[in-house]
């Protein structure tokens, strides 16, 4: 497998993971809202709750993804496996 194809597969998989994490955070934020503030606030506040949940889910998924990627890079040595570091055995 070439370096480019490895990188493309990684980007696609990482993007799908990031989208899934964002969706999970979004649903969790809306669920938390419906269990707490949704019972107190009027129905017109739902629009603001959706906007806030979306922003919180984007920020949460960003920090989760950043932490997950740093752990994965250390544990699985992704830079070498994906070919992002120069080969020390090859002479230029």
Within-domain flag for 92: no
Within-domain flag for 28: yes
Within-domain flag for 76: yes
Read off the pLDDT band of 82 (50, 70, 90). Answer: confident
Domains identified in the chain, total number: 1
Within-domain flag for 90: no
Distance, CA of 66 to CA of 64 (rounded, Å): 5
Residue 67's domain comprises 3-82
Within-domain flag for 52: yes
Within-domain flag for 91: no
Within-domain flag for 89: no
- Tens of pLDDT, residue by residue over 15-66, are 999 999 999 999 999 999 999 999 999 999 999 999 999 999 999 999 999 9
Give me the pLDDT at residue 84, please.
73
User: Could you tell me if 83 and 3 are in contact, meaning their C-beta atoms sit under 8 angstroms apart?
Assistant: yes
Within-domain flag for 17: yes
């Amino acid at each position: 497998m070439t370096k480019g194809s490895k990188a493309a597969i990684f980007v696609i998989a990482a993007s799908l993971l990031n989208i899934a994490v964002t969706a999970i955070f979004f649903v969790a934020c809306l669920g938390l809202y419906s269990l707490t503030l949704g019972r107190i606030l009027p129905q017109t506040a739902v629009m603001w709750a959706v906007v806030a949940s979306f922003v919180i889910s984007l920020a949460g998924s960003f920090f989760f993804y950043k932490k997950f990627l740093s752990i994965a890079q250390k544990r699985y040595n992704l830079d070498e496996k994906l070919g992002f570091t120069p080969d020390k055995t090859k002479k230029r």
